[in-house]
Chains A and B, each alone.
Chain A
Amino acid sequence: MTGARGKSMVLWSVVIFNLITLSLPTVIILGASLTSGDIVEFPPAGLSLKWYGKLWLLDNFKDAFWRTAYVSVICALISIPAGTLAAIALARFRIRFRTTVQVYLLLPFTIPLVVSGLGMMMIFGEIRILGQLWPVGLGLCIINLPFMIWAVSATVNALDDELENAAANCGAPPLQAFLTVTLPAVMPGVITGALLMFILAFNEFLVSLFLTDARIVTLPVSIYNSIRSVITPDLAAVSVVYIIVAGVAVFALDKLVGLELFLKSK
């Protein structure tokens, strides 16, 4: 058990166990969405694409889908400057009360989503920006910001700070060094973070519940509301659409920066 074989067996059995538990729900939902019956079950009662057909014909689905995409783009766009600059600041610059700042920036995780949602609903309502889509994007960016900061910091930390010194040595003033050396170097982390924010916003329903209303409802909220009353296979079909979107995002991520980025160290 202690030899190389043993190591392989133990580690790989854990890995396979994880693979099964990670993929099982996905496979189930995929299967349940192909059912020709009327309820969600697995194995499905006969195979059919009828629930996907119903989905495409649903007006609300298409509108909600595009609204969700719009909101997710806004979320990613806002998070890029905020997260990137914060990560660079924490890694490169002198900050006093570093730990306090980090605990502060972790607040979106320590405050439960219900509370964040309610709080933002009150504030946005007070300043009268509720009822539009971009505040939803803003809200989603705020609650997921730590992910962006983390994604960029993973690359920033891997950056050799000697590069900026070298640029200064060659006569580059600070802003120029930042724009021509630092930013391009952290670009992989920024892209990763942006895609991460996009997908997290695409899935978010709890905070969106508070910031949207029937006129601007987004897809996750729509799904969540439907699940409250009755669970039919078209919800499984929507989930499969999500899986496909996720698949496209993962593929894009791989092509743009290479998935291996996530393995890179500090």
Chain B
Amino acid sequence: MTEKFSLEQPVNRRHFITRSAALMGGMMIAPRMAFASAPKKPKELIVRAWGGAWGDALKAGVADGFTKQTGIDVRLDFTEDNEIKPKIWAAVDQGRVPPIHVNWDTTTNATISALRGVTVDLSDLSNLRQLLPLAKPVGLEGYPLVNTYAYVYVCAYRPQAFPDGPPQSWTVMLDPKFKGRIALYDDGIGFNPVAVIAGGGTFADIPDNMEPGYAFYRKLKANNPLLGEDADFTNWFQNGEIDIACTISVNARAAKQNGIDVAWTVPKEGCKVDTDGLWVPKGLPENETYWAKQFVNHALTRDAQQKWCSLLGLPPVYPGIAPPPDLVNDVSYPTQAADFDKLLRVPSKALVENQPKWFAKFNEIFQG
């Protein structure tokens, strides 16, 4: 304040009062002007999330921090990712406001929505710059979605059923002694590429020659595998229904933390690694789109990534975050390039284009 007044000028009391009043007024207007450029805050943001440990991780790691910073409440919608797809698509196509603001989705699903043109471009988010290349979706223009972490479809097993140590190869699933005690996802997700290699093919065979994989499935069918979704795997391990499964490491880790005897490994054929991401649907009012994007931006900050991903036990796209203590050097937590070499990553565009074919074949073999 004193700079305003040169020492040469007589300090006139009246001037002093007017000028300080002007300055005070200016100081009070200035912050309001800065906020006036940010759009009106909505009462709440609705974010779709998976339930249980997943939703809790998002809340503690991202949503709470966002609410603290901006004052906007975050409500979680636990509708399954598959089930919210037609709801969002119908809303956008009919010109209605979509039911959620942000979708926490698998990259494959998000890619499908992106291909349909129902996603908002996220290229202008400020936090994108410092992320690993893993964050950018492959084969799509710009950022219709942002990948937020990677996960591995590990080979989870009951140590008691493997007294000689972890299974070295996926072909152990064909062993008749495990008849009816194997589990896979009910759409072949996470295992299709692995089946090709386990069936004698190579990575180059994907996606054009999946025959070795189908042959493997036919042999596997004779061993009566159980097919289900995430919740089922936990149940099955918990109730001793299965000895070996191909599931996301998060489910195995959650079961372990609940006291169930479960371990996991990456057999010699490798495991599929995939990503999940966040995207914002079109059709929201302008101010809500802005704040939805801010939510995604917040999820990409170091703090949020560290909290969120360490609760999930998954490697984030923000570089340089140390793994939680129980996952240091764990095969399900790839951090170095060498770790990724053992894993199979199929570009999401190829997944999206081939998934229906692979699913149809998977169905044909296992439902028959």
- Tell me if chains A and B make direct contact, with any CB pair below 8 A: yes
Chain A positions within 8 Å of B, measured between CB atoms, are: 38-39, 118, 121-122, 125-126, 128, 130, 209-210, 213-215, 217, 222, 225-231
Q: Which residues of A contact B78 (CB under 8 A)?
A: 222, 225-226, 228-229
Inter-chain contacts of B230 with A (CB < 8 A): 228-229
Q: Which residues of B contact A (CB under 8 A)?
A: 46, 48, 50-55, 75-80, 83, 86-87, 90-91, 94, 96, 99-100, 229-231, 234-235, 238, 258
Q: Which residues of A contact B238 (CB under 8 A)?
A: 39
- Evaluate contact between A227 and B231: CB separation under 8 angstroms: yes
The chain A residue with its CB closest to the CB of B235 is: A231
- Kindly state the separation between the CA atoms of A222 and B77 in the bound complex, as whole angstroms: 9
Complex alpha-carbon distance, A228 and B79, angstroms = 9
C-alpha spacing A39/B75, complex, angstroms:
26
Whether the pair A125, B91 counts as a contact (CB closer than 8 A) is yes
Q: Give B259 Cβ to nearest chain A Cβ, in Å.
A: 9
Report if A209-B46 is in contact (Cβ < 8 Å); known contacts: A230-B53, A230-B234: no
Q: A126 contacts which of B52, B53, B94, B100 (Cβ < 8 Å)?
A: B94
Least CB distance, A147 to chain B, in whole angstroms: 26
A125 touches B94 (CB 8 A): yes
Q: With A and B bound together, what is the CA distance between A40 and B198 in angstroms? A: 36
Contact of B55 with A229 in the complex, beta carbons under 8 Å: yes
Chain A, Cβ-Cβ closest to B76: A214
CB distance from A75 to the nearest CB of B (A): 21
Query: With a CB–CB cut-off of 8 A, which chain B residues contact A225?
Result: 51, 78-80
Please classify the interface of chain A as helix (H, G, I), strand (E, B), loop, or mixed, using the class held by over half of its residues.
helix
Docked complex Cα distance between A230 and B251 (Å)? 10
Which residues of chain B have C-beta atoms less than 8 A from A229's C-beta? 50-52, 54-55, 78, 230-231
Closest to A211 in B: B87
| Interchain nearest-CB distance for A132 vs B (Å) | 13
- Given A214-B46, A214-B75, A228 and B91 contact (CB-CB distance below 8 Å): no
Residues from chain B with a CB closer than 8 A to the CB of A130 are: 96
Tell me which residues across on chain A come within 8 A of B48, comparing CB atoms: 214
Bound-complex Cα distance A166 to B55 (A): 67
Query: What chain A residues lie within 8 Å of B99 (beta carbons)?
Result: 213-214
A46 CB to closest chain B CB, in angstroms?
15
CB distance A226 to B51 under 8 Å?
yes
Residues of B near A39 (CB, < 8 A) are 238, 258
A and B contact pairs by CB, cutoff 8 A, 20 listed: A122-B90, A122-B94, A125-B90, A128-B96, A130-B96, A210-B87, A213-B77, A213-B99, A214-B48, A214-B77, A215-B46, A225-B51, A225-B80, A226-B52, A228-B51, A228-B78, A228-B230, A229-B54, A230-B51, A230-B52
Which one of A39, A213, A215, A222 has the greatest number of beta carbons of chain B within 10 Å?
Answer: A213
